[in-house]
Structure 1
Amino acid sequence: MSKAFGFVAYGGPERQEFLDRPVPVPGPGQLLIAVHAAGVNPADWKVRQGLFGTAQPTPRVLGLEAAGVVQVLGEGVTGLVVGDPVFGPTPGGAFAEHTLLESDNAAQVPDDVSFAQAATLPVAAATAYDAVEQLALTPGQVLLVLGVAGGVGSAAAQIAVARGVKVLGTASDQSREYVASLGATQIAYGEGVAGRVKAAAPGGVDGILDLIGGDDVRSAAAALRPGGRLVSTVDPVAAVELGGAFVKRRNSGEVLTALAALVANGGLDPHVSETFTLDRAAEAMAAVESGHARGKCVVEIR
């Protein structure tokens, strides 16, 4: 049997508990891994709440991203061997001693990257990478990130800076130093944000990455130069209304390989702020669900 942490019915934290389940068997194109670390995301508690739908049967194991060591290769898997360190998004739940990865969506963990760091990349950082690629800004251009201090925003800022892009980001004044550590310039949230962006970038911005939606993105769009690009991860309706687009996710091992290389060379700090053992998975969930966690929380299984 394999120990896991999940939920037995859709709802609040009271639905969470430890589960014993058979060790998963990989199907064609899948990998069975012994999980070493799992990233914790706001999407985890939203899945438990049923905010993404309740069609999937319960009990369900929590966790959307994992890093570990290959134990068994499914039929048709090539390029990997048993014992390889890998990471990726998981369809089978990451808060567990064992889980499955799709080999096409997985990547190897480089020597200079820890399992904890790798486990933070498949969800927020991969979304950020795809969004920055979609914006296609060039060195010297200016990017405005709405909500830069969150998981996606923190990664996007660093990825853009590594490409020579100047980054402005909306965040609270309490996050000013943190935003500066990302290589970005903090712009205070709230009424008048367009004016503050204009003061920081008098000629306007070349791209906007929207991680907030609603009135915030509509207000900020006034700072976009003619011909500028807007990509949203949260509000497809507003994005289209403003002449932009919703983020196109690739979910590919190629993206994860690029992200791991950035971590290895110092271009991307995943900002692992706190780690929890599997026995403390409920605490990890609570830390993220509170909305006060800065950086990434990680559950370490081994």
Structure 2
Amino acid sequence: MVKAFGYRSNGGPDVQEFLDLDMPTPMPGELLVEVRSAGVNPVDWKIRSGMMGPASESDLPAVLGSEVSGVVRGVGKDVDGFSENDEVFGSVAPGSGGYAEYTLVTATAAARKPPQVSFNDAATLPVAAATAYDGVTQLNLKEGQTLLITGAGGGVGVAAAQIARDLGINVIGTASEEKRALVESLGATLIASGDGVADRIREIMPDGVDAILDLAGGDALQAVAGLVVDRTKLISAGDPGVGELGGHFIERDRTSRVLEIVAALVADGKLDPHVEDVRPLNEAADALAAVEIGHARGKVVIEVSS
């Protein structure tokens, strides 16, 4: 049996529980991965809560988690480029979850882990770093222009600030005051979020900013949207209200190509995922709570095995 952490119905943290599941079998296009580490992301609790749509009976029980690193233990049909015992990282296959001893990974959304990159760091790349890379590159800013990142202290924001900085882009990040040291260590200028944030930004950027990468949504997005004139340069990771403001969602690539790029950045020392909190699988509830409550700094990882 495979130990996993998930839920049997949509709801709050009270529906979470440990599950004993059968060993999964890789279907065509999938890899069976013995999980070393699993990244923890806000989307995990949003899926559990039903915010992303209610789970059907056939999908339950469901395992939490959407990104992992580990070792290939089985290869499905129609998979090229991977073999058993390869060290990999990637996004879990539909119907699978990362908070587990074994999971299924979509081969086209996986890549080999460079030896210089730890399993813990690699597990954070498919969602956070890849989203950050897609967002920053789609904005197509020139060296010297200014990018505003809302929610700069979270996993995607930490990666986006570093990727933008490496391209010579000036970064302003909004986050809580308690995340100042983290945001400033990325080479970004922190502007405390909350009431009056737009005025505080205009004090240093009277003419506004060249682009906004929204990772916070809601009121945080509404408060700063007016700082960018060209609304094609306003993109969000998930707030549907961005369309009403003239912007659009980040267009996700979700392929091995992007994973290889961000892994190379980590291997070269240009990108630090800032894994700040590592918990064992039996503390999965606490790991997810840190992200759901919003107190996490940098990335939270569940270490399944070593």
Does TM, normalized by the shorter one, top 0.5? Answer: yes
Structure 2 CA distance for aligned equivalents of residues 298 and 78 of structure 1: 29
For residues 250 and 18 of structure 1, do their structure 2 counterparts lie closer, same or farther at Cα, with a shift above 3 Å needed?
same
Give ranges in structure 1 of 5+ residues lacking alignment: none
Contact conserved, 1:203 with 1:225, CA < 8 A, in 2?
Answer: no
Identity within the alignment, %: 53
Give the CA deviation at 1:149.
Answer: 1.1
Give the CA deviation at 1:155.
Answer: 1.3
Give the CA deviation at 1:215.
Answer: 4.3
With 7-16 and 60-69 compared, the bigger mean Cα shift is at: 7-16
Which secondary structure does the structure 1 equivalent of 2:9 belong to? coil
Counterpart of 1:44 in structure 2 is 44
The alignment yields a C-alpha RMSD, in angstroms, of: 1.7
The answer to whether residue 297 in structure 2 is matched with residue 294 in structure 1 is yes
Give ranges in structure 2 of 5+ residues lacking alignment: none
Structure 2 CA distance for aligned equivalents of residues 242 and 19 of structure 1: 43
Counterpart of 1:102 in structure 2 is 106
Which secondary structure does the structure 1 equivalent of 2:276 belong to? strand
Counterpart of 1:137 in structure 2 is 141
Amino acid at match of 2:283: R
Under a length normalisation based on structure 2, what TM-score does the superposition of the two structures give? Answer: 0.92
Amino acid at match of 1:18: F
User: After the TM superposition, which segments of 4 or more aligned residues of structure 1 sit over 6 Å from their partners?
Assistant: none
Q: 2:193 aligned to 169, 184, 189, which one?
A: 189
Structure 1 CA distance for aligned equivalents of residues 19 and 195 of structure 2: 47
Counterpart of 1:69 in structure 2 is 71
For residues 16 and 263 of structure 1, do their structure 2 counterparts lie closer, same or farther at Cα, with a shift above 3 Å needed?
same
Counterpart of 2:277 in structure 1 is 274
Which secondary structure does the structure 1 equivalent of 2:233 belong to? strand
Which secondary structure does the structure 2 equivalent of 1:45 belong to? helix
Give the CA deviation at 1:227.
Answer: 7.7
Counterpart of 1:6 in structure 2 is 6
Amino acid at match of 1:30: E
With 33-42 and 186-195 compared, the bigger mean Cα shift is at: 186-195
Counterpart of 1:201 in structure 2 is 205
Which secondary structure does the structure 2 equivalent of 1:205 belong to? coil
With 191-200 and 35-44 compared, the bigger mean Cα shift is at: 191-200
Contact conserved, 2:7 with 2:15, CA < 8 A, in 1?
Answer: yes
Structure 2 CA distance for aligned equivalents of residues 47 and 217 of structure 1: 22
Give the CA deviation at 1:210.
Answer: 1.5
Which secondary structure does the structure 2 equivalent of 1:112 belong to? coil
Matched positions, count: 301
With 10-19 and 99-108 compared, the bigger mean Cα shift is at: 10-19
Structure 2 CA distance for aligned equivalents of residues 40 and 99 of structure 1: 15
Q: 1:261 aligned to 261, 264, 268, which one?
A: 264
